[in-house]
Amino acid sequence: MFLWLSKFYHSHLTITWPLVIYAATWVTLLTLTVAVASFSPEVAFVSAISPSSSFSQKCSKSESDGSFIRVPLDNPSETLCLPAQLFAMSSIDIIVPPVFSALMVAASACVVRAVGLLEHD
């Protein structure tokens, strides 16, 4: 079996070092693109809930019957206070991150194909 595999490798899959380096470079760039796109919302969230952020401060509502959460608006100086009961984990929170990651990988592959990086000279 190994003899057949070695003949198949040498006859059909002759890989040169420049091609390996080229492929490894693009795999690395695509991986970094997906990592930045995936982790940037989490970094924004962590910075928004940090103690120094204005969003982590309590809302100045006169009602004392429940807690409120600050929600940012388009203008950074404006905030909206909503009841904390509106912010609960749902079943779609399990589905969205993997779908988003798959879309990022597909989009980066489409960019590589559109730019023509896989075409030989």
Q: What DSSP state is assigned to residue 69?
A: E
Alpha-carbon distance 121 to 103, whole Å?
29
Report the chain's C-alpha Rg in angstroms: 25
pLDDT (0 to 100) of residue 80? 83
Q: pLDDT category, 22, cuts 50, 70, 90? A: confident
Residue scoring higher pLDDT (86 or 103):
103
Kindly tell me if the per-residue pLDDT of 12 is higher than 80: no
Contacts of 53 (CB under 8 A, 6+ apart): 47
Kindly tell me if the per-residue pLDDT of 32 is higher than 70: yes
Name residue, tokens 């924004």.
44
Contact 71, 80 (CB under 8 A): yes
Give the pLDDT confidence of 68-101 residue by residue, as tens digits: 777 777 776 777 888 878 877 788 888 888 899 8
pLDDT (0 to 100) of residue 116? 73
Q: What are phi and psi of 17, to 5 degrees?
A: -60, -40
pLDDT (0 to 100) of residue 38? 83
pLDDT (0 to 100) of residue 74? 74
Average pLDDT of the residues of the chain: 76
